[in-house]
Amino acid sequence: MILGVNIDHVATLRQARLGIEPDPVMGATLAILGGADGITLHLREDRRHVNDRDLDMLRAFVPVELNMEMAATDEMVRIACRKLPDLVTLVPEKRQELTTEGGLDVRKNMKSVKKAVRTLHDKGIPVSLFINPEAADIEASKESGADMVEIHTGCYANEKGRKREKELVRVAGAVDKAVELGLLANAGHGLNYTNVAEIAMLNGVRGLYIGHSIIARAVLVGLERAVREMKELILRGGS
């Protein structure tokens, strides 16, 4: 099972000061050194975190799977066809959302999804669709010509106890259905250090795509060292 690390959150921190650090490209390098099998970035229409320069640089050096998350718009498809990521994941996109809120309604957007899949396939780019764990969405994904799906684990991640168990069964059922239809099955959203194990145990899952919890943990586990290094500089420089 592969781990794709989403580095949007590094870019979000950079954009808080509209500066140059932390650089998501450096973030990707460290993630790869840590064992990431893939790097995911979401190029949004409004470029609110990851920008075109990040995509250029990541495309140039990322030696593992570069997964470009994007809306199925003509602009994004054009960019993907130029940059040739190793995988495109089509997601729904709303301007005001804090993160991708729900899965793609493939049936409702069948025309634009099919068109995007066809154009990306012409360039040799495999396509994944980020969908809710619903049989109808998996069937529609198959019909669209996509190669894989990423099952939205947000509801599973947000629930507790019996409700979480029910959501886990839904995710497992969705993975089984996807595999049965000949689609590769990934999962992601809201996965963290306490809820990932049960998803990682599911049969048939190709990969997990995780962002927020990894970057959140990096901030905390790296803080002590960062302060110590600053203190050393101050003590060395001061009288």
- Classify the phi-psi angles of 231: left when phi > 0, otherwise alpha if psi is within -120 to 50, otherwise beta: alpha
Q: Which of 69, 93, 150, 167 is catalytic?
A: 69
- Classify the phi-psi angles of 204: left when phi > 0, otherwise alpha if psi is within -120 to 50, otherwise beta: left
141 binds ligand PXP (CB under 6 A): no
> In 3D, which of 36, 32, 100, 29 has the Cα closest to residue 70?
100
- My answer on whether omega of the bond before 22 falls inside 30° of 0, hence cis, is yes
| Cα within 13 Å of Cα(221), Cβ side | 6
156 binds ligand PXP (CB under 6 A): no
Q: Which residue sits closest to ligand PXP, CB atoms considered?
A: 211
Active site residue 42: yes
Q: In this complex, which beta carbon is closest to ligand PXP, that of residue 100 or of residue 141? A: 100
42 binds ligand PXP (CB under 6 A): yes
Active site residue 69: yes
Grouping H, G, I as helix, E, B as strand and the rest as coil, residue 235 is helix
6 binds ligand PXP (CB under 6 A): yes
Binding mask 92-131 for ligand PXP (x = CB under 6 A): -------xx-----------------------------x-
Compute the distance between CA of residue 29 and CA of residue 195 in angstroms, rounded to an integer: 26
22 binds ligand PXP (CB under 6 A): no
Q: Which of residues 171-200 bind ligand PXP (CB under 6 A)?
A: 188-191
Compute the distance between CA of residue 67 and CA of residue 127 in angstroms, rounded to an integer: 10
Shortest distance in whole angstroms from residue 216 CB to ligand PXP? 9
Shortest distance in whole angstroms from residue 164 CB to ligand PXP? 16
Q: Amino acid letter at 179? A: V
Q: Which positions are catalytic? A: 42, 69, 189
Binding site for ligand PXP (CB under 6 A): 6, 8, 42, 69, 89, 91, 99-100, 130, 150, 188-191, 209-213
